[in-house]
Structure 1
């Protein structure tokens, strides 16, 4: 009976639903320290009610908003400025940019617009006032939004800006203030890179996220842990429904209903933040102590992990590219993305490979002397006079190159007897050299050298394989001077030997928990990640035990005895020095400088390993040129001492005075 009345009421009622982002889950270290938190803040947004809203209307709103907020104009591009200038022009001014004849010849409105943009002179662009740039910055963000979806114009608005905007919302259609949050890092740059970053959905992945129920304006994790655990960390959005009834142009009633959102689930990491801070300081101290020891860039990388579980306890990188004005030299991600020739630190894998191939066995002795092969430079150990007849343990202890060469040659059917003797190995069509390369690399991959580590990150390096499979390069492969590996791969390799041949999957997250209501407590466990065995290497317990004894010899009476012989924590390990050539200078001044990459791998205690480590210090000058030797050993020694000291006494990680705020990326 009153159908017309209800139809009229319906026509005058506007129902708008807005989804408000909830804070992301936070991250804890293994001892409950909050390492990634949320900073609650306010954002000013614009919701375009229709795809048909004109640019001119949006510009008018931007001009009204401009006096109320301070915008960062650094992101306003030259094209943004020209678009803004065209919108400000009268129709007659725009017609003066392009003649009628030119418009008739152009193919469509888009071509006309492009030509108008080009006709605006650089002088006109440079004449824009600061107010113009502020308006252009606001309009730029408004135009990037989608219909019926709040688009952030500015995050972290001040209380004063929030008050003045609130007082003027009635004359700013589509503008609103929403509760928002951004990431904060209580420990600054410590491990910061691995936490990852967030931003608007990248354009190349928009379809992926839309198919999973995301909105185009959502903030998502775009790297490292934030990306890897996006589905866990994202919060449940709040829903705000606004029902407005109008008579003519007047609002007579407005009702707002809100369904609260929920913060995302939390991550408990394997990270020991106190140990991480100690490790970062050790790298910083040792690199600075080394002075002018580096050929060009100064850098060092270190990974500490539990060989029994794969837990990453600390992972730090330090890199100075010569920019002394940098606030931080942190390069933690270099542990998983940068690869190097690791030198003799891989020789434990070489010996085990020889044992498994049957070309050597525990106690086998080879004559360490200079080897001469056709079309190959003389091959010898670091002790140019040779070590004479030595067995496998002595070869590891003194880092014999020739012992590893003999293993490689025998795997390629080369039994070297006298200077310039023919080896009998063949190349091409699956010859013995090619088979030897394949067998060695297959063996090395079981330890994690040249294969995927399995760490819970969206991307990492699996190493770099050398290209030319010649006989001489095969020998270099056996001593870690051909294929390239990451520091994490090196740590996984030595952890596999420490763990009696079981290769564990490295992991950064051990638990997922519900968001806690009490800020001083953690929520209930949603999922607990158990340690994962990736594989058991194809070597016998007897062979592994023999190599473990050789690694202990390295630290007690071998190449690392000076730093570790009397260590109470009884380490085992292997030193490495890879020869490198680094190009420095520009143009006519460009030259090649010889140097080395220092490395050390190991674990402790020898009889019951609970920590494995890998340290890499690239591109150090030769000792004869002023390079400091033993940097990797000094870093390793200090890192192990820090680990065992913290087992006895803990003071807790030290937060910085003001938590580091996330660098908001609205692009």
Structure 2
């Protein structure tokens, strides 16, 4: 009995010992688990939380209405036209098969535009064919499958074999409308609304999609917009364009825009005013945060930033005046090309500015196609194309002569035929004028007076039949003073493609810079030059926008003023007030003096203009031609408008001037401006 009890005690002790051991192991395991949880929650908690947020939270931006554009008189020029749209927001992990099924449903409702269908490539069709035919497994032989398993053919090899074996007839039988829709669906970014169709959506299409949303996962109806223009083609090129929903960010500027927070599919201004002021017109997009679970299902959405429509801008352009300027150019080009020896003529440019502010009132370039008998707008050419401008620059030459001490008021020079040793070529003014002073040189447009001035500035002295002995480096002195007026340097209008012109490099003809026959200048540079003389020596930045305003949701007029863009003085010329007034007087004689080269066009006009005519040699397609130009301002005593006009390649060399298109255009532009002012159609700028 005693032995039996001893045995039972031993068993009990053994069980107790094993239980204690088990409890200890459980304690240790729980301790390890608690420590691990503490490490995860406390030490790594922030990192895992951030990782979870990065993985499962997506922020999507929704576009807002773009700002409108008005002319200087608050007339609506560019606005948004609402358009019905069908949009698709894909899930986190869209599957190709699901997209194809959705495309099949949509193809029974939507007819894509020809433009979208034409984007479908054979490769697109082949990919869809494979998707619809069990990924093309029947196109691969057993031998090829075996080689694939042996890794003698890779996935890319098999894919290419499948593509090659899809027949032309199979491709021809495919539905391109379906392919166009699938192409749109498959290119959509996860959780980001993408336009499937936003052009020419019919009422029937819109209604059918709306009625079938339950069967079209991710698809919805919405409203998009396109830019509309009140005045049709007037000023259309300079207003610029906006990218389409397909284009998104311009390919060459993706890095620039994404660095500023834009999305790849954002619509932005892609040229001129729409691009230059995109940051103002774009508005502030609505941002929505979408939370998804590990399977990509949407858990919740929250608006984290309310959208705000783009701001409106008010141009300096008077759209009515602009339309008249364009009409004048076209009518005078048509008239001029009826004259003999004008087969090289097809283009004209006009820039009109406020001398005191630099605000552009109108700017236009037009090219006439003799075959189609149609005009093409080429307004950007006013600052992207440079020409030999001719005698319009002689005011800068005279002023440079004064400033360098080479010339004085009333100084007499002999206008004669100039001959240089060793050169059979002679140089002269249009007419030999004999002894003339500075005012007469401007009034009658003496080339000789200007040439002799330039030669002396460059350290030489004209001697009949002598050697042209100048210091070529000193041409930079002339260019330095020309630059002060804007000739030969960017005007700062604000566009990247502005040209500063081309500098002549033939030292034997350096003196030709004095008559605008060496370096080339843009119409915008000449406009800046003439405004600088007109306003008493201040080079103004050319300005196209004068105000930024809040959008007005209740009407077509702009809202409250946010910012007024003040005129900007780029520099003041070195010349004294007396020097500038002397040249101004010379310019008045050009249009009113007894021998003024433009008196026949301006002497009897009520607006009392002053200015300078120009004619210069040029070439087009290997043919020597003549450019015609005019630069002037009015009224003389208190200038309101300054203009620069150039008609390149106006007629062939060797013929008497058959027309005066530049002078006539200038006369008509001045008349149009003051007629509109008298009728009360212009406001104070």
The two structures share one fold, judged by TM-score above 0.5: yes
Check if 1:545 corresponds to 2:581: yes
**Between 437-446 and 263-272, the greater mean CA deviation after superposition:** 437-446
Native 8 Å contact 1:615 1:632 kept in 2: yes
Name the structure 1 match of 2:262. Answer: 214
TM-score normalised by length of structure 2: 0.82
CA drift of 1:204 comes to: 2.9
Name the structure 1 match of 2:50. Answer: none
Aligned partner (choices 376, 397, 400) of residue 350 of structure 1: 397
Residues 1:524 and 1:378: Cα distance change in structure 2 (over 3 Å):
same
Native 8 Å contact 1:82 1:120 kept in 2: no
Check if 1:29 corresponds to 2:65: no
d(CA) in 2 for partners of 1:529 and 1:250?
49
d(CA) in 1 for partners of 2:360 and 2:165?
58
Check if 1:365 corresponds to 2:409: no
**Between 372-381 and 440-449, the greater mean CA deviation after superposition:** 372-381
d(CA) in 1 for partners of 2:577 and 2:138?
85
SS in 1 for 2:476: helix
d(CA) in 1 for partners of 2:296 and 2:402?
88
SS in 2 for 1:397: helix
Name the structure 2 match of 1:536. Answer: 572
Name the structure 2 match of 1:196. Answer: 240
Which consecutive unaligned segments of at least 5 residues does structure 2 have?
1-55
Name the structure 2 match of 1:6. Answer: none
CA drift of 1:113 comes to: 5.5
Check if 1:392 corresponds to 2:433: no
Q: CA RMSD in A?
A: 3.4
d(CA) in 2 for partners of 1:347 and 1:483?
13
CA drift of 1:57 comes to: 3.4
CA drift of 1:457 comes to: 3.6
Name the structure 2 match of 1:10. Answer: none
Aligned partner (choices 610, 615, 628) of residue 598 of structure 1: 628
Describe the superposition over 1:569-627 as per-residue Cα deviations: whole angstroms up to 9, x where unpaired.
111111111112221xxxxxxxx333211110000011111100011111122486597
Name the structure 1 match of 2:192. Answer: 149
CA drift of 1:76 comes to: 5.2
Name the structure 2 match of 1:620. Answer: 650
Name the structure 1 match of 2:483. Answer: 445
CA drift of 1:254 comes to: 10
Name the structure 2 match of 1:174. Answer: 218
d(CA) in 1 for partners of 2:160 and 2:281?
42
Report matched runs for 1:266-285 at 5 Å.
Answer: 266-285=312-331
Check if 1:231 corresponds to 2:279: yes
Report matched runs for 1:304-323 at 5 Å.
Answer: 304-323=352-371
Aligned partner (choices 441, 446, 451) of residue 405 of structure 1: 451
Native 8 Å contact 1:41 1:155 kept in 2: yes
Name the structure 1 match of 2:663. Answer: 633
Check if 1:566 corresponds to 2:604: yes
Name the structure 2 match of 1:383. Answer: 430
d(CA) in 1 for partners of 2:237 and 2:86?
29
SS in 1 for 2:175: helix
SS in 1 for 2:280: helix
Native 8 Å contact 1:146 1:216 kept in 2: no
d(CA) in 2 for partners of 1:112 and 1:544?
80
CA drift of 1:59 comes to: 3.2
Residues 1:174 and 1:358: Cα distance change in structure 2 (over 3 Å):
same
d(CA) in 1 for partners of 2:438 and 2:639?
22
TM-score normalised by length of structure 1: 0.84
d(CA) in 2 for partners of 1:532 and 1:138?
51
CA drift of 1:95 comes to: 4.1
Check if 1:62 corresponds to 2:107: no
**Between 28-37 and 68-77, the greater mean CA deviation after superposition:** 68-77
d(CA) in 1 for partners of 2:331 and 2:354?
25
Aligned partner (choices 554, 565, 572) of residue 518 of structure 1: 554
d(CA) in 2 for partners of 1:565 and 1:360?
29
Check if 1:159 corresponds to 2:203: yes
d(CA) in 1 for partners of 2:416 and 2:585?
24
Residues 1:234 and 1:642: Cα distance change in structure 2 (over 3 Å):
same
Name the structure 1 match of 2:83. Answer: 41
Native 8 Å contact 2:120 2:176 kept in 1: no
Residues 1:469 and 1:271: Cα distance change in structure 2 (over 3 Å):
same
Residues 1:99 and 1:387: Cα distance change in structure 2 (over 3 Å):
farther
Name the structure 1 match of 2:507. Answer: 470
d(CA) in 1 for partners of 2:513 and 2:158?
62
- Which structure is higher in RCO with an 8 Å CA cutoff and minimum separation 6? 1
Native 8 Å contact 1:456 1:508 kept in 2: no
Which consecutive unaligned segments of at least 5 residues does structure 1 have?
1-13, 426-431, 584-591, 654-667
d(CA) in 2 for partners of 1:107 and 1:417?
87
Residues 1:348 and 1:75: Cα distance change in structure 2 (over 3 Å):
farther
CA drift of 1:410 comes to: 1.0
CA drift of 1:256 comes to: 9.4
Residues 1:516 and 1:403: Cα distance change in structure 2 (over 3 Å):
same
Residues 1:239 and 1:448: Cα distance change in structure 2 (over 3 Å):
same
Check if 1:135 corresponds to 2:165: no
Residues 1:242 and 1:325: Cα distance change in structure 2 (over 3 Å):
farther
Check if 1:481 corresponds to 2:528: no
SS in 2 for 1:463: coil
Aligned partner (choices 73, 84, 88) of residue 125 of structure 2: 84
Describe the superposition over 1:256-281 as per-residue Cα deviations: whole angstroms up to 9, x where unpaired.
98986331111011111111111111
Residues 1:542 and 1:95: Cα distance change in structure 2 (over 3 Å):
farther
Report matched runs for 1:566-585 at 5 Å.
Answer: 566-583=604-621
Native 8 Å contact 2:345 2:650 kept in 1: no
d(CA) in 2 for partners of 1:106 and 1:409?
81
**Between 134-143 and 593-602, the greater mean CA deviation after superposition:** 134-143
**Between 636-645 and 447-456, the greater mean CA deviation after superposition:** 447-456
d(CA) in 2 for partners of 1:298 and 1:99?
66
SS in 2 for 1:519: coil
Residues 1:295 and 1:112: Cα distance change in structure 2 (over 3 Å):
farther
CA drift of 1:628 comes to: 3.8
CA drift of 1:495 comes to: 0.5
Residues 1:376 and 1:542: Cα distance change in structure 2 (over 3 Å):
farther
**Between 541-550 and 53-62, the greater mean CA deviation after superposition:** 53-62
CA drift of 1:197 comes to: 1.1
CA drift of 1:108 comes to: 6.5
Residues 1:443 and 1:249: Cα distance change in structure 2 (over 3 Å):
closer
Structure with the greater alpha carbon radius of gyration: 2
Aligned residues: 613
Native 8 Å contact 1:64 1:172 kept in 2: yes
d(CA) in 1 for partners of 2:305 and 2:460?
75
Native 8 Å contact 1:81 1:133 kept in 2: no
Native 8 Å contact 1:73 1:133 kept in 2: no
CA drift of 1:255 comes to: 9.3
Name the structure 1 match of 2:49. Answer: none
